[in-house]
C-alpha cells in the first residue's frame, strides 16, 4: 500500500454506525478502512449500561457492545487505524484524506464521527478537567467513593449516569437547567433514588462556576430559581447534550446545518458526491445507538451502489 493506492472506502470514526457499515461493506468484499482518533465504539463505549439496544434482554455494558461491534467488523476484514482524519479534499473520482498517518485516497468516504459531550464553558470547567470535572462516569466514578457529586444535565445521559454514580457516592445533586427530559423508565428509577435520599434534583438551576480551594473542587456556584446558591461537592460530572465532531470538514465542501451537523439526502449522501454520513453526526439523527447502526447499514448499501455506478 502506498500513497497512490485508492482504497474502496474509508470511514471516519469507528463508533456503532461506522462499525455496522463496515460489517456490511466488508461482507460485500469492499475494502474498508476506519480511522478512529478516540475510543473505538464512540460514546457507546463510555456508557455504563445500554438498555434500549434491541437483542439484549438484560441490557449490555456499553464497552462490551463496542467490543462486539469491533470484533464483528474485523472478522470480515475491516481495518481499523488508530489515528485522526484532519482534512478531506474532493478530487472527483477519489477523495484525499489528510490523516495523522499521512495521505490516504478513497473512492468513497463515510463520515460517522458522532458527537462528544458538550462543555458548559463556565469558569473552572477546563481548569479542573480530570481533577474534579469529568465527562465519563464509568471511567472516573470510582474516584468518588463516599463523596458528594454534582451531575449536570436533565436528559437520558445525565439521569442514567447519575443513577450509575450512586454506587460510589454518598450523595448526588442533579443540577437541571429546566426540567427532567429522560425516558419514563429512567424517571422512575431516578424517583426511587430520590426517595432513598441518594439523589437530590435541583430544577431551574444553571451552573455559574466550579470552585476549588487548593486545587480541590469544593462547590458549584449556581443560580436556582434566579437566586445564587452554592452546592457543596467533591466533583462534577457533566452531561448536557452533544456537540458534533465536524470541525475537520471545514473547506471540504460538505454542507452542515446550523448546529454543525452534516446535511444528507435520503440516501445519506452529503453535498459532496462520494461522501456519505451516518449516525449522530448527521442532521436529523435521533442520537440513538440503534438508529446509528441502522443508518450505518443503509450507508453501506448506498456506498456499494455508488461504487458500482459507472464513473464519467
State the catalytic residues. Answer: 136, 139-140
Answer positive or negative: Cα dihedral of 142, 61, 18, 4. Answer: positive
**Closest distance to another protein from the beta carbon of 305 (Å):** 33
Q: What is the DSSP string of the chain?
A: --TT-EEEEEEE--SHHHHHHHHHHHHTT--EEEEESS-TTHHHHT-SEE-SSTT-TT-EEHHHHHHHHHHHHHHTT-EEEES-EEEEEEETTEEEEEETTEEEEEEEEEE---EEEPP---TTTTTTBTTTEES-HHHHGGGGTT-EEEEE--SHHHHHHHHHHTTT-SEEEEE-SS---S-HHHHHHHHHHHHTTSEEEE-SEEEEEEEEETTEEEEEEEEETTEEEEEE-SEEEE---EEE--GGGTTS---B-TTSPBP--TT-B-SSTTEEE-GGGBTT----HHHHHHHHHHHHHHHHHHHHSPP-
Nearer to another protein, 53 or 143 (CB): 143
- x/- mask, another protein, residues 21-40, rule CB under 8 A, reads ----------------xxxx
- x/- mask, another protein, residues 105-144, rule CB under 8 A, reads -------------------------xxx-x-x-xxx-xxx
**Interface pick for another protein out of 27, 53, 83, 105 (rule CB under 8 A):** 83
- x/- mask, another protein, residues 150-189, rule CB under 8 A, reads ----------------------------------------
C-alpha–C-alpha distance, residues 144 and 276, integer Å = 42
Q: Does 50 bind another protein (CB under 8 A)?
A: no
Segment lying near another protein (by CB under 8 A), choices 44-52, 148-156, 188-196, 297-305: 44-52
Instruction: Count interface residues toward another protein (CB under 8 A).
Output: 28
**Closest distance to another protein from the beta carbon of 208 (Å):** 22
**Closest distance to another protein from the beta carbon of 129 (Å):** 9
**Interface pick for another protein out of 16, 235, 244, 296 (rule CB under 8 A):** 235
Segment lying near another protein (by CB under 8 A), choices 56-64, 197-205, 218-226, 288-296: 56-64
- x/- mask, another protein, residues 58-77, rule CB under 8 A, reads ---xxx--xx----------
**Closest distance to another protein from the beta carbon of 49 (Å):** 10
**Closest distance to another protein from the beta carbon of 190 (Å):** 22
Q: What is the CA radius of gyration of the chain?
A: 21
Q: Does 19 bind another protein (CB under 8 A)?
A: no
Interacting residues with another protein (CB under 8 A): 37-41, 45-46, 48, 61-63, 66-67, 82-83, 100, 130-132, 134, 136, 138-140, 142-144, 235
Amino acid at each position: 500500500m502506498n500513497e497512490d493506492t485508492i482504497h474502496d472506502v474509508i470511514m471516519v470514526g469507528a463508533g456503532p454506525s461506522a462499525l455496522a457499515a463496515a460489517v456490511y461493506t466488508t461482507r460485500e468484499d469492499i475494502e474498508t478502512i476506519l480511522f478512529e482518533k478516540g475510543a473505538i465504539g464512540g460514546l457507546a463505549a463510555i456508557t455504563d449500561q445500554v438498555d434500549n439496544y434491541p437483542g439484549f434482554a438484560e441490557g449490555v455494558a456499553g464497552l462490551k457492545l463496542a467490543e462486539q461491534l469491533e470484533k464483528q467488523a474485523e472478522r470480515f476484514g475491516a481495518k481499523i487505524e488508530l489515528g485522526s482524519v484532519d482534512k478531506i479534499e474532493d478530487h472527483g473520482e477519489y477523495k484525499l484524506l489528510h490523516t495523522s498517518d499521512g495521505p490516504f485516497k478513497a473512492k468513497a468516504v463515510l463520515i460517522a464521527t458522532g458527537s462528544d459531550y458538550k462543555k458548559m464553558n463556565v469558569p473552572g470547567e477546563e481548569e479542573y478537567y480530570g481533577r474534579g470535572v469529568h465527562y465519563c462516569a464509568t471511567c472516573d466514578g470510582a474516584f468518588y467513593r463516599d463523596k458528594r457529586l454534582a451531575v449536570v444535565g436533565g436528559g437520558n445521559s445525565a439521569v442514567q449516569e447519575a443513577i450509575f454514580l450512586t454506587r460510589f457516592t454518598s450523595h448526588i445533586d442533579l443540577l437541571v437547567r429546566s426540567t427532567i427530559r429522560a425516558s419514563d423508565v429512567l424517571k422512575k428509577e431516578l424517583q426511587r433514588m430520590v426517595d432513598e435520599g441518594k439523589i437530590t434534583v435541583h430544577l431551574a438551576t444553571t451552573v455559574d462556576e466550579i470552585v476549588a480551594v487548593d486545587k480541590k473542587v469544593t462547590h458549584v456556584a449556581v443560580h436556582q430559581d434566579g437566586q445564587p446558591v452554592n452546592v457543596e461537592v467533591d466533583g462534577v460530572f457533566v452531561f448536557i447534550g452533544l456537540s458534533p465532531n465536524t470541525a475537520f470538514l471545514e473547506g471540504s465542501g460538505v454542507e452542515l446545518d446550523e448546529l454543525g451537523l452534516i446535511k444528507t439526502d435520503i440516501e445519506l449522501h452529503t453535498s459532496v458526491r462520494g461522501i456519505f454520513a451516518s449516525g449522530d453526526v448527521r442532521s436529523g439523527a435521533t442520537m440513538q445507538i440503534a438508529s446509528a447502526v441502522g443508518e450505518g447499514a443503509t450507508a453501506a448499501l448506498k456506498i456499494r451502489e455508488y461504487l458500482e455506478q459507472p464513473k464519467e
